[in-house]
Amino acid sequence: MAIGKTKVAVIGCGLVGSTLSYYLASNRICNKLLLIDLNEKKAWAEATDLRHSLGYSNSKVQIESGSYGDCGDADVVILAVAAPYRDGMTRLDMYEKACSIMDSIIPPVMESGFEGIFLVITNPVDLITQYVQKLSGLPDRKVIGTGTSLDSARLRMYLADLMDVDPRSVDALCMGEHGDSQMIPWSQVTVGGKSFHHILKDDPNRLGGLSLDDVLKEITGIAYEVVRSKGATCYGIASVSGQIVRAILFDENKVIPVSCMLHGEYGFEGIYAGIPAVLNSQGVKELVTYHLTEEETARLNRSLGILEGCRRKGSEKE
């Protein structure tokens, strides 16, 4: 960890924000943890309950509730607020409401003197991360969204279960929109260092005629099923968000697929999308560019094109 105290502010004390706060505290990822919510009593209660959880632990994290004005010395501010969701909506349908929420949060955070890194969880995360970057005026390397990190974690678990191996032996990711148009670059997927395409080719019967398109449908659709059944996802997003924060505060130079600004990579300029990036104390150090197949390139272009079109429509309404 970098020398000195590290402070993280979590804005939004709903299921995601509170679960993430517990992850950060129990794993001692930061020294100070600030919880903020429009419902100040809720923020106080979550902070107090969280402090009580450390009574028998080795964690020495200082936890308190506060306001946007307390974010000035934070290293990372996490936006864990959510626009209202109704069954049948896609993440893109939540854009306008999410923008209005950001309009009420980002200006006072910036007025506090905040110069750290924003981590955006709010959906549609790619578009909202770009909106936060524009509102804040911070360099785009310092405004990051969770992107396809959770989708990639789901994919790793799915393939690990399918192959009956430890998920740490699976190297797989999703790219593009954190949403219905995302894609899987199968040419980059390996299990134990072996290409997944070669695994299928060497033993076609091993996975029972697995359809790669069906895998993508499963990874894309599982979040909707979880939300219908329990109201929200929380553990998965808390874990991947916590790892992103750790990569930043511990200066890890770790590659994670996050929402970040493209500057010509994959043929697109000036849009945010889920792309593997090297993360360290400066935010996004660099993006990873793969040599994709022609089909993979077409699928990624389609996903990025959807995000670009939505961004342009959103800009016209601002």
pLDDT for res 310: 80
- Residue 204's pLDDT is what? 81
Q: What is the pLDDT of residue 137?
A: 98
Closest to 182 measured CA to CA, from 192, 170, 172: 172
Q: Are 10 and 17 in contact (CB under 8 A)?
A: yes
Helix (H) or strand (E) holding 245: helix 235-249
The pair phi, psi for residue 7, each rounded to 5°, is -130, 135
- So what's the pLDDT on residue 84? 62
Q: How far apart are CA 297 and CA 161, in angstroms?
A: 28
* Phi then psi dihedrals of residue 218, to 5 deg: -65, -45
Cα atoms in the 13 Å half-sphere on the side-chain side of 264: 1
**pLDDT of 72:** 98
Report pLDDT for 47: 98
pLDDT at 1: 41
Q: Look at residues 126, 142, 134 and name the one whose alpha carbon lies nearest to residue 94.
A: 126
d(CA 275, CA 290): 10
pLDDT of residue 90: 64
The alpha-helical segments, DSSP class H, found in 53-204 are: 95-111, 125-136, 149-163, 196-202
Task: Please report the pLDDT score of residue 314 as a whole number.
Answer: 61
Residue type, 170: V
Query: Are 26 and 239 a contacting pair, CB within 8 Å?
Result: no
Query: What per-residue confidence (pLDDT) applies to 96?
Result: 86
Both tokens of residue 155? 């994919």
Q: Does residue 178 have an active-site annotation? A: yes
- Strands 194-195 and 254-263 turn out to be unpaired
Six token digits for residue 8:
């993280």
Answer yes or no: are the C-beta atoms of 118 and 141 closer than 8 Å.
Answer: no
Any idea what DSSP says for residue 94?
Answer: G
Question: What digits encode the pLDDT tens for the residues 183-214?
Answer: 999 999 999 999 999 999 998 888 877 899 99
Kind and range of the H or E element at 156?
helix 149-163
DSSP letters, 186-205, are: GGG-EETTEEHHHHHHH-TT
Q: Which of 2, 31, 39, 6 is nearest to 17 (CA)?
A: 39
Q: Is the CB of residue 252 less than 8 Å from the CB of residue 36?
A: no
Positions of the chain with pLDDT under 70:
1-4, 84-91, 314-318
Report how far residue 137's alpha carbon sits from residue 124's, in angstroms, rounded to the nearest whole number. Answer: 20
149-163 and 235-249 helices, crossing angle to 10°? 110
- Of the residues 178, 197, 198, 263, only one is catalytic, namely 178
pLDDT tens digits along 105-152 = 999 999 999 999 999 999 999 999 999 999 999 999 999 999 999 999
* Token couple for 202: 């060497």
Residue type at 179? Answer: G
